[in-house]
Amino acid sequence: MKYRCIVIDDEALAIDILEDFIEKFPNLELIGKFSSPLKATPLLMSQEVDLIFLDINMPDISGTAFYENLPVKPLVIFTTAYSDFAVKGFEMNAVDYLLKPISFERFFKAINKLGNKSNSLTIGNPAATLPVTSEGNDYIFVKAEYSSIKIKLSDIVMLEGYKDYVKIHLLNEPKPILTLNSVKHYETTLFSKGFVRIHKRYIVSIDKIENISRNRVKVKSKDEFILIGESFRDFFMELVVNHHL
């Protein structure tokens, strides 16, 4: 298979070296180069990415923290100048860990490990394996009661976990749609469609956010503010507020 990959590193020289190495492999296609993780987020939300070459030690947010918070996790090869981070990288099931300066021989060994990882991990956009929505579609089908209901993504304000169900709140509809599923399922499926998880119970449409006040969010058609969970706060603020998505 061909791996669509991106490079994220705050050192221009490191990006140039990795780009040169990647061009030597016909099974690798470089589709993006970024100097910080958050600059890469719009591409990760909108396109299929199979592999990230990700520097660990970066000023805004560390590569490991960024990767941990990604709802959709492509394969990852961590790069860094500090060997102390190696254990953390392998704990996150990374394909490999490359210590700078990276030699072509060491890079070659890392690429040869891709086959083993791709057999056990989902590659690319999980929408292909989760039948809720398809690439390019602006709707989802959800099972509610005894039928499948087609819902436009543009009508969804937020999703709320409720016991073993998910409530899908829609614009101009006082009653949410209740479907048997998990918040995690929709987090993974809808991340590339402009939705972000802000709490263990809530996923919101970025386009429907009207107000962000400290650790709370207000969305269209809802009077009350929704709490931003502590474990989701840093990622949400960097993604939505600091980078104006």
Predicted local distance difference test score (pLDDT) of residue 138: 87
What is the total count of domains within the chain?
Answer: 2
Write down the pLDDT at residue 126. 36
**Which of the residue ranges 78-92, 106-120, 133-147 has the most confident prediction, judged by mean pLDDT?**
106-120
Are 186 and 233 in a shared domain? yes
114, 141: one domain: no
Q: What counts of helices (H) and strands (E) characterise the chain?
A: 8, 15
Is the per-residue pLDDT at 86 higher than 70? no
End position of a domain, from candidates 65, 99, 124: 124
The residues pairing with 77 across neighbouring beta strands, listed in sequence order, are 53, 96
Domain containing 188 — which CATH number? Answer: 2.40.50.1020
Tell whether the model's pLDDT for residue 236 goes beyond 50.
yes
Confidence of residue 187 (pLDDT cuts 50, 70, 90): confident
In three-state secondary structure terms, 162 is strand
Query: Is-contact 65 92, C-beta < 8 A?
Result: no
- Span 180-192, average pLDDT: 85
Q: What is the tens place of the pLDDT at every residue in 128-182?
A: 333 344 445 788 999 887 789 999 999 999 999 988 899 999 998 889 999 998 8
Could you tell me the residue range of the domain that residue 178 belongs to?
Answer: 128-242
Clarify whether residues 108 and 172 are in a common domain. no
Residue 214's pLDDT is what? Answer: 82
Cα 227 to Cα 230: distance, rounded to the nearest angstrom = 9
Same domain, yes or no: 98 and 138: no
pLDDT one-digit tens code per residue, 28-48: 999 999 999 989 988 998 889
pLDDT the model gives residue 133: 43
Same domain, 8 and 120: yes
Name the token pair of 40.
């890469």
DSSP structure class, residue 102:
P
* Residue ending a domain, choose from 124, 146, 172: 124
Q: What is the pLDDT of residue 190?
A: 87
State both tokens at 43: 């591409």
* Pair 35, 22 in one domain: yes
- pLDDT > 70: percent of the chain: 85
On whether both 31 and 66 belong to a single domain, the answer is yes
Residues 101 and 28 both lie in one domain: yes
What is the per-residue pLDDT for 242?
63
**Residue 97 scores a pLDDT above 80:** yes
Q: 53 and 18: one domain?
A: yes
Q: Are residues 49 and 104 in the same domain?
A: yes
Of 109, 124, 139, which residue sits at a domain end? 124
- Determine the 3-state secondary structure of 237 from DSSP: helix
